[in-house]
Amino acid sequence: MNKVVLLLFLVTWSSTSLLAQSDHPNAPKVLQKYSLVTLVKYCDAVETFSNIRQPRFFAQKFSALGPSSGWVEFSSIDAWRQAGKPQPLALVWYMDDRVARVAITPPDGTRNENSYTDYCYRPDGSLARLRSVPEKQADCDQSFLHCSYTFRVERLYPPGLGGQRPYSATPPPVDLDGYSVDRRPLKSEKTSFKFAPLEWPEYKSVWDLPFNQLLNASSQ
């Protein structure tokens, strides 16, 4: 594991271990907070790490003979483009030879190319964070009378969650002071808010990914 990420885990582990031995009534809540904060920092570190690393490229190709389809790997983004840019496209990043992050474009391939579902995985292969990207997207008509804001959905999966529901980290579409996030000096006549759907399921481990059988294969 990356040394910075490992250090983060060790510091938090020692802190939470001391709290676990405490009889303080707020200890469970503090432990939960430490767990979630550590999770977010870990996935942020994974994202920073992946932004300067080359991913592996996978895409789903549909058969012309029937409804069957399969995932294939491309040696580079140029090879994917030369193949006609098949969709959906999945990018996979590794840390210490383990899958750490996966980004998959929408299944229908018709959405904005900057929209995707982002998965962060722990070193043991379990899901740590799931979110829709981008964080916020505005869509206004030409007359600027009607605007729609779309906010991402984000879920956190602390260790030992078991069958419990994940923690929602999705921010509300308003500021803490109750005012709309729309801070433009000229407001639109009507502004609506919605949350972006998660286009793909909760692949709770790297072994659940639809192209998992290709992950252990060498790049073409």
pLDDT single digits (tens) 8-18: 443 344 444 44
pLDDT at 178 over 90: no
Q: What is the pLDDT of residue 122?
A: 94
Q: What is the mean pLDDT of the chain?
A: 75
CA angle 106, 111, 113 (to 5 degrees): 85
DSSP-assigned letter for residue 18: H
The HSE-up count of residue 174 (CA atoms within 13 Å, CB side) is: 7
- Tens-place pLDDT, residues 206-215: 999 999 999 9
What's the mean pLDDT in 150-172? 75
Hunting for tokens 């982002």 — which residue is that? 118
Among the ranges 16-20, 38-42, 177-181, 184-188, which has the highest mean pLDDT value? Answer: 38-42
Domain residues of the chain, as ranges?
3-215
Tokens representing 104 are: 């998959």
Residues 6+ apart with CB under 8 A from 98: 121, 123, 125
